[in-house]
Structure 1
Amino acid sequence: MKKREEKLFSNSELIPEVISLLEEGHTVTLPLRGYSMRPFLEDNRDKALLIRARDPKVGMPVLAEIGENYFVLHRIVSIKGENVVLRGDGNIGTERCKLSDVRAEAIGFYRKGREHIDKTNGLKWCLYSFLWTKLTPLIVRRYILAAYRRIVKTENIN
């Protein structure tokens, strides 16, 4: 049996290849990096199932280019004409891009090492999303995220 070799690529190298595959009509499963979508998605644990962006809507998690070769997987907060505002679930601040910079839509996530997908149009994800995005003011999120980080850090120590 051939030994499996693992290679790491930077997002600036990997994501353009992912986008090429999406533009050819493929779906892509992308391992997630970063903490901006906490508490629902975790760095180096979860994966997103992506399709080419078709009709991005408010509330949808999308892969967008917010700077030259700088991509984020965040939720759409608002769309006004061609202008899109994004926010990661674990973020207080926002990012901006053009509608044409939204490259992919996440149709589901493989979470917590599971083999089944949590679809973004499924009841569980829609309920989480509705409740989380309605937490206002955003300072409430900050306290919840701080408590969550302490819980995760404690779990990792034990």
Structure 2
Amino acid sequence: MKTISLPNDIFIPQIKDLIDEGHTATFHVRGFSMRIFVEDRRDKVLLGPCNEKPKVGDVILAKACLCGATPDEIISAPHYVLHRIIQIENNKIILRGDGNIIGREVCEQKDIIGIALGFYRKGRQNPDLVTGLKWRIYSRVWIFLTPVRRWILAAYRHIWLRLFPIKIEQ
């Protein structure tokens, strides 16, 4: 199968159009910010419309800005992220990738493109649905471990990945 890479500025609006029409979209994730459960170029996300009000713990694709950005930075530097909601304050949604230790982004509900329904991990043909017991346990444990994530992620990068390198689909 041939793989085509497109810039997010072209690709994500197409995904948004599909989701706005009520479809789901599946694509390979890029980046390491959702590590250790979702790996760059290995895993795929299944996105659908965010028909309900999002909740803390949901993983969403959104157009977001860095928390604490100045008004000029907010206008000039929005970017797309697939991250977990860690806090909701009125209309402001705070996001953080599972593989991020301190970085956070902010968006509003209108900036949400889609919500993760599941993840195709490790080349599997069936997704781990976010409503499934396995994914709910992963999520709760990982959120609970936030204070010690720095050490877990370091061990994962420096020990686990050397012993068990990531196999990427071609």
| Pair in the same fold by TM > 0.5 | yes
**Cα distance in 2, alignment partners of residues 97 and 85 from structure 1:** 7
Q: Which residue of 1 aligns with 2:164?
A: 155
Give the match for residue 150 of structure 2.
142
Equivalent in 83, 108, 125 of residue 118 of structure 2: 108
Deviation at 1:5, TM superposition (A): 4.2
> What are the equivalent positions in structure 2 for 1:3-152 lying under 5 Å apart?
5-55=2-52, 56-67=54-65, 70-92=79-101, 93-137=103-147, 140-150=148-158, 151-152=160-161
Matches of 1:131 and 1:148, distance apart in 2: 16
1:26 maps to amino acid: H
Structure 1 window deviating more from structure 2 (75-84 vs 65-74): it is 65-74
Give TM-score scaled by structure 1 length.
Answer: 0.90
Q: Could you say what secondary structure the match of 1:156 adopts?
A: coil
Over the matched positions of the two proteins, sequence identity in percent amounts to 49
* Structure 1 portions without partners, runs of 5+: none
Change (3 A) 1:85 1:6: same
**Partners in 1 of 2:3 and 2:128 — Cα distance?**
26
Q: Kindly provide the amino acid, as one letter, of the partner of residue 58 in structure 1.
A: V
- Residue 154 of structure 1 deviates from its aligned partner by 4.0
In structure 2, do the counterparts of structure 1 residues 10 and 79 end up closer, same or farther at CA, with 3 Å as the change threshold? Answer: same
- Alignment root-mean-square deviation, CA: 1.6
Deviation sequence 1:53-76 (CA, Å, 0-9, x none): 222111000001014661100000
Would the aligned equivalents of 1:12 and 1:69 in 2 still touch at CA under 8 Å?
A: no
- Unaligned stretches of 5+ in structure 2? 66-76
Question: 4+ runs of 1 displaced by more than 4 Å?
Answer: none
Q: Which structure ranks higher in relative contact order (CA pairs < 8 Å, sequence separation ≥ 6)? A: 2
Number of aligned residue pairs: give it: 152
Q: Which amino acid aligns with 1:51?
A: G
